[in-house]
Chain A
Amino acid sequence: NAGVTQTPKFRVLKTGQSMTLLCAQDMNHEYMYWYRQDPGMGLRLIHYSVGEGTTAKGEVPDGYNVSRLKKQNFLLGLESAAPSQTSVYFCASSATSPTTGELFFGEGSRLTVL
Chain B
Amino acid sequence: GNSVTQMEGPVTLSEEAFLTINCTYTATGYPSLFWYVQYPGEGLQLLLKATKADDKGSNKGFEATYRKETTSFHLEKGSVQVSDSAVYFCALSVRSSGSARQLTFGSGTQLTGLP
A residues contacting B by CB (< 8 A) are 4, 31, 33, 35, 40-45, 48, 50, 56, 58-59, 90, 92, 97-100, 102-108
Contact present for B100 and A99 (CB under 8 Å): yes
Q: How far is the CA of A48 from the CA of B49 in the complex (A)?
A: 22
B107's partner among A42, A45, A107 (CB-CB below 8 A) is A42
Contact present for A105 and B107 (CB under 8 Å): no
Contact present for B101 and A98 (CB under 8 Å): yes
Task: Tell whether A103 pairs with B89 under 8 Å between CB atoms, given A40-B107, A45-B102, A48-B102.
Answer: no
Q: Mark B80-103, 1 if CB is under 8 A from A, else 0.
A: 000000000100011100001111
- Tell me the smallest distance from the CB of A41 to a CB of chain B, in Å: 6
Q: How far is the CA of A100 from the CA of B94 in the complex (A)?
A: 10
- Is B42 on the interface with A (CB-CB < 8 A)? yes
Task: Tell whether A43 pairs with B45 under 8 Å between CB atoms, given A98-B103, A100-B32.
Answer: no
